[in-house]
């Protein structure tokens, strides 16, 4: 009676086509990728993250930040928006595990957040209560990354520098970032995919300084 083994073999063969295509072959093509030396600067790219930033990547993963934030710059509109100087390519993710590309942009892309926002305190206040620095932000508060502490004789040096309105609200107390908060900010600061690569060179013309430059870019793309 049995055609069953043959049928199961057929299922196996049919499934293995896409398995070879998207699992095995990328490994053959991309598995040997190595850091490269950037011609202009002589630096090795990408370099491994610092220990603190690596811990921050874990905080990013644990809290599934990728649910709302992508880390990939597509050619065209994303660059015009100022989310990156060039498109992101395989080289940029060489040391990421897991690679958290994300699939939905409820918040902005973060592939170059380390180049766009370099103020640690801004990041910390933003994590603490996003609406303090971004008006009507839809991002939830990450209050659990901070400890509330009564101010002693002198304010602590590592306390958040909060905007006045919030400082008054918690009068007599200060917010101290926990280790996870500092690590997460170190990770965010480490996110920049703007080294000029052979496969993804930077645009040759000078970076647009005003808003008019990107908008001249966009009609050509769409």
Partner 1 sequence: MSLSTQTESRANAPAASAEVDASCRAPVLFLFTSALLWLVASGALGLIASLKMHQPLLLVRGAELTYGRILAASSNAFLFGFAAQAILGVTLWMLARLGGTPLVKPIVALLGAIIWNLAVTVGVGGILAGDSSGYEGFEFPSYAVPALLTAYTAIALCAVATYFQRRERDSYVSQWYLLAGLFALPWAYLTVHSLLLINPVRGVAQAAINAWAGAVLREIWLGGAALAVIFYLVPKLLNRPLYSRGYAQIGFWMLLVLGGWTGLHSGAPLPLWMVRMSSFASLLMIFPLFVVAWNLHVTAGGQRVFGADCRVLAFAGSGLVFYLLATLVMAINPLISEAVQFTYYSAAVKHIAFYGAFSMAMFAAIYHIVPRLADADWPCANPMKWHHKLAVAGVMLVALPLAFAGWQQWMGLLDPSADFNQISRTAMRAYRITTIGEILWLAGSLLLVGNLVKLLANRFCPCAALASCTAESNGGAR
46-68: b or e for each residue (b if 16 or more CB lie within 10 Å)?
beebeebbbbbbebbeeeebbeb
Is 6 among the residues that bind partner 1 (CB under 8 A)? no
Q: From CA 110, how far away is CA 70, in angstroms rounded?
A: 6
Preceding amide of 24 cis, omega within 30: no
Binding segment for partner 1 among 112-120, 140-148, 168-176, 181-189 (CB under 8 A)?
140-148
Nearer to partner 1, 155 or 221 (CB): 221
Nearer to partner 1, 52 or 68 (CB): 68
Nearer to partner 1, 205 or 222 (CB): 222
Q: Least distance (Å) from partner 1 to the CB of residue 153?
A: 28
199 alpha carbon, distance to own chain's centre: 21
Q: Least distance (Å) from partner 1 to the CB of residue 73?
A: 9
Give the pairing of strands 146-150 and 173-177.
Answer: antiparallel
**Residue 137 CB burial class (10 angstroms; 0-12, 13-18, ≥19):** middle
Is 48 among the residues that bind partner 1 (CB under 8 A)? no
Is 151 among the residues that bind partner 1 (CB under 8 A)? no
Member of 135, 164, 168, 171 binding partner 1 (CB under 8 A) = 135
Q: From CA 53, how far away is CA 95, in angstroms rounded?
A: 12
Nearer to partner 1, 30 or 170 (CB): 30
Q: Least distance (Å) from partner 1 to the CB of residue 35?
A: 11
Nearer to partner 1, 20 or 119 (CB): 20
Handedness of CA 207, 211, 212, 218 (dihedral sign): positive
Q: Name the token pair of 221.
A: 């793309």
Nearer to partner 1, 27 or 41 (CB): 27
Member of 45, 50, 108, 192 binding partner 1 (CB under 8 A) = 108
Q: Least distance (Å) from partner 1 to the CB of residue 157?
A: 25
Q: From CA 46, how far away is CA 124, in angstroms rounded?
A: 26
Is 201 among the residues that bind partner 1 (CB under 8 A)? no
């Amino acid at each position: 009676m049995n055609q069953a083994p043959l049928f199961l073999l057929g299922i196996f063969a049919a499934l293995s086509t896409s398995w070879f295509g998207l699992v095995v072959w990328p490994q053959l093509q991309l598995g040997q990728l190595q850091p490269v030396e950037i011609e202009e600067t002589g630096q090795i790219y990408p370099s491994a993250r610092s220990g603190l930033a690596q811990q921050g990547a874990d905080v990013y993963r644990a809290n599934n930040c990728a649910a709302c934030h992508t880390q990939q710059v597509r050619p065209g509109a994303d660059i015009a928006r100022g989310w990156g100087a060039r498109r992101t390519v395989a080289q940029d993710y060489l040391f990421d595990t897991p690679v958290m590309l994300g699939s939905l942009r409820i918040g902005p892309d973060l592939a170059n957040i380390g180049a766009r926002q370099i103020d640690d305190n801004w990041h910390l206040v933003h994590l603490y209560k996003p609406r303090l620095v971004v008006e009507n932000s839809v991002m939830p508060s990450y209050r659990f990354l901070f400890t509330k502490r009564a101010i002693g004789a002198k304010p602590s040096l590592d306390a958040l520098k909060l905007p006045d309105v919030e400082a008054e609200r918690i009068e007599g107390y200060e917010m101290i970032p926990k280790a996870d908060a500092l690590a997460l900010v170190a990770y965010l600061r480490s996110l920049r995919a703007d080294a000029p690569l052979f496969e993804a060179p930077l645009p040759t013309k000078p970076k647009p300084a005003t808003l008019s430059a990107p908008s001249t870019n966009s009609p050509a793309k769409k």
